[in-house]
Amino acid sequence: MQITSEEFFKARREFIKLGAMASLAAINAKASELGLSGDDAFFTVLKSKAENETGRAITDFDDATSYVNFYEFSTNKAIAAKKANALDISGWSVEVGGLCERPMRLNYDDLLKFKLQKRIYRFRCVEAWSMVVPWVGFELARLLELVRPASEAKYVKFTTLYDPQKFPDQASSFGAIPYPYVEGLRLDEAMHPLTLLAVGMYDKPLLGANGAPVRLVVPWKYGFKSIKSISKIELIDKQPPTTWQTLAPDEYGFYANVNPDVAHPRWSQAKERMLGSFSRVNTLLFNGYDEVAPLYAGMDLRAFY
Ligand code: MTE
């Protein structure tokens, strides 16, 4: 699942150089200044789209970046993508604190100092569509180890930046969603090596549409757990109420593990439509990431959905 070729590290250097800039326009300008153009600027290590361990073809960049859920901009996927791509991330920082020994505030450059890796993951939305994305990021565990969780810390709470100037629908009086968007994981889920903080995808810095500058990626859980544009990470002792669970507790649980046998009250979760295709494929328990099963040993997955 991890690609660590020499070429990738070359691409990573470019990525880091370019990623420190606020907007895609600035990145493109810099790329052409360097004599790079379009996709040549960040070549892809994969020779064929299907050549990866997910057993499925990588989703087209255009599909993964235009068919998005980002309710702070719009409930319409294409409109949300367009608006979110104008997100200004200059001056962004992520506060990491709560029950830990070394709370810290990281700016964007600090995030890029972690050992970035490329991880190709299946991604399954609770709405029954899915995609395969080559993320660029680092294991959340690395950050948590740095801040040193206290022994009372049992959960990790994540919060999207609250700033209606930047995220216009946070202030919409028509919206039923209580903002800021909040998500959470049990500490052992957060420490699992599959759990990523992503700063890029397709060898490029994350677009606003996909949660720039930093988002969570938890590939065995429904996509709503993978919170975008994070500004706060807190270690806490109790399970945090999360956005979708608060809105519709019968439909969206805290765990949200991908499970073909536990239907959403309004639709089956047995199959999924892969973006870019009309055919439906079988949904896999834990989205196929069987290595996480021990995290839930002895738990009734119907009760803890
Ligand atoms: N994070 C925030 N802050 N706001 C959102 O609306 N949508 C979630 C999740 N993270 C969402 C969010 C949902 S429902 C999904 S399926 C994924 O983001 C979608 O990620 P993508 O748009 O990059 O595919």
pLDDT by residue, tens only, the chain of 305 residues: 333 445 445 555 665 555 444 444 554 555 455 544 444 333 333 344 556 889 999 999 999 999 999 999 999 999 999 999 999 999 999 999 999 999 999 999 999 999 999 999 999 999 999 999 999 999 999 999 999 999 999 999 999 999 999 999 999 867 789 999 999 999 999 999 999 999 999 999 999 999 999 999 999 999 999 999 999 999 999 999 999 999 999 999 999 999 999 999 999 999 999 999 988 999 999 999 999 999 999 999 999 99
Give residue 38's identity as a one-letter amino acid code.
G
Domain of 112 in residue numbering reads as 48-296
Is residue 5 situated within a structural domain? no
In a domain, 21, yes or no: no
Q: How far apart are CA 203 and CA 118, in angstroms?
A: 8
Residue 69 Cβ < 6 Å to ligand 1: yes
Joined together, the tokens standing for residue 40 give 């040549």
Q: Please report whether residue 225 resides in a domain.
A: yes
* Residue 14 belongs to some domain of the structure: no
Question: Ligand 1 pocket check: which of 201, 228, 269 to mutate, most ligand atoms within 8 Å of Cβ?
Answer: 228
Q: From ligand 1's centre to the CA of 119, what distance in Å?
A: 18
Give a yes or no: residue 8 inside a domain.
no
Supply the DSSP symbol for 149.
Answer: B
Distance CA 160, CA 231 (A): 5
Smallest CA separation from ligand 1 atom 22, residue:
68
- Residue 272 maps to a domain: yes
Q: Is residue 301 one of the residues assigned to a domain?
A: no
d(CA 223, ligand 1 centre) in Å: 6
With a 6 Å cutoff on the Cβ, whether 170 touches ligand 1 is: no
pLDDT in tens, 220-244: 999 999 999 999 999 999 999 999 9
Residue 134 covered by a domain: yes
Looking at the structure of the chain, the number of domains it has is 1
